[in-house]
Copies of this chain bind each other. A is one copy, B any other.
Amino acid sequence: MVVKKRLTKQKRAILSYLKSVHTHPSAEHIYSEVKKELPLISLATVYRNLSQMAQDGHILKLELEGEYHFDADVSLHQHCICTKCKKIIDNHDSTISILAMQKSKIQGFHPTRAQVFLQGTCFECSNN
């Protein structure tokens, strides 16, 4: 039996906020931002919607620094994480993800997605 998803104002506000930024915010941060538009929204609603959207493949759920971070950009790209300022920088290059997926097939694995994280220091922090 197919569950019908309803497009609520909360869902719309969360997705619209997430599409407007490139900062990979946490659920808590999304909550505080969306609260400006919908003051009565609850944190549980934010979590529920983010999980649903991630499940449906509309957004990415990244596990970083002990909490989840979300990204409305679902194209094949890498995330560079600065260990000093904790900033997450996108690196748009689909070849790495594609290559990683191809190579994983050797062992009979059937990949659906690749997540590539680079740890290091960003340009600003390297030249502090």
List chain B residues, Cβ under 8 A from A111. 80, 118-120
Neighbour of A63 across the interface among B63, B93, B96, CB < 8 A: B63
Verify A78–B96 contact, CB threshold 8 A: no
CB-CB contacts of A76-104 with B at 8 A, as 1s and 0s? 00101011000001010101100111011
Verify A119–B115 contact, CB threshold 8 A: yes
In the bound complex, CA of A110 to CA of B85 (Å): 13
Neighbour of A120 across the interface among B91, B99, B112, B118, CB < 8 A: B112
Neighbour of A109 across the interface among B112, B113, B123, CB < 8 A: B123
Number of interface residues of A (CB under 8 A): 36
In the bound complex, CA of A56 to CA of B50 (Å): 35
> Residue A106 at the B interface, CB < 8 A?
yes
Q: Which of A28-72 contact B (CB under 8 A)?
A: 63-64, 66
In the complex, the 5 A-B pairs of residues with the closest C-beta atoms, listed nearest first: A108-B123, A111-B120, A115-B117, A63-B63, A104-B118
